[in-house]
Amino acid sequence: MSTPATGPDYFTPSLFTKRVVYTIVIGTVAIIAPFLLWPALVVRLFGSNDYLPRAFCYLRRPALVWTHVTADALIAVACLAISVTLAYLVYKARRDIPFHWIFLAFGLFIIACGGTHFMEVITVWQPVYVLSAAVKIFTALASLVTAVVLPSTFPPSWLWCRERKRQSK
């Protein structure tokens, strides 16, 4: 005999989920379309030597610069999207999720990590190393706080093997 579900079913796709997918696809096309419609822009951006503050670090190779810029930008956007998703989850299901502040701590940690990647993109062209260091210090503090707070959410018998040994006796 099963009991009926008492809350919303978070595992079935909803209209909101479809809208998110459509938004991501449309956003990606909107970002890529100018490069497809204006090929001279691709040559101007990817063939540019305007990355002089860190040119030596990248061996003065535009392909290496753009590999790092693209990877760091994608990581930063993904971190922001993950954090927004966690915040939305906590907002919508805060009564159903115990320890919802853990999700917020992870969201802050992920935003901070994304911020360091975003700063790497900026420092390719603008040498704002002091601001980059400040963002990295913030990321380190957010990481430490999350790492210290996370074990406090486990019950005293958090090792499942100890619990299983006790139950088997």
Fill in the amino acid letter for 163: E
Alpha-carbon separation of residue 131 from 58, 126, 151 (angstroms): 21, 11, 31
Nearest-10 Cα torsion for 55, 60, 63, 64: -60
Range 43-51 average pLDDT = 58
Question: What percent of the chain stands above pLDDT 90?
Answer: 15
**14 vs 70: which has the higher pLDDT:** 70
**22 vs 83: which has the higher pLDDT:** 83
Q: Tokens 């975003």, residue?
A: 118
> Rounded to an integer, what distance in angstroms lies between the CA atom of residue 34 and that of residue 43?
13
The model's pLDDT over 99-155, given as tens digits with 9 standing for 90+, comes to 767 878 888 899 999 999 989 988 887 788 899 999 999 999 999 988 888 777 766
Fill in the amino acid letter for 18: K
Note the pLDDT of residue 92: 79
53 contacts: CB under 8 Å, gap ≥ 6: 123, 124, 125, 126, 127
Q: How confident is the model at residue 162 (pLDDT cuts 50, 70, 90)?
A: low
**124 vs 45: which has the higher pLDDT:** 124
* Mean pLDDT taken over the chain: 76
User: Is the per-residue pLDDT at 58 higher than 90?
Assistant: no
Note the pLDDT of residue 140: 95
* 55: phi then psi, degrees, rounded to nearest 5: -60, -40
**Angle between helix 15-37 and 39-46 (nearest 10):** 80
Note the pLDDT of residue 138: 95
> Rounded to an integer, what distance in angstroms lies between the CA atom of residue 157 and that of residue 163?
7
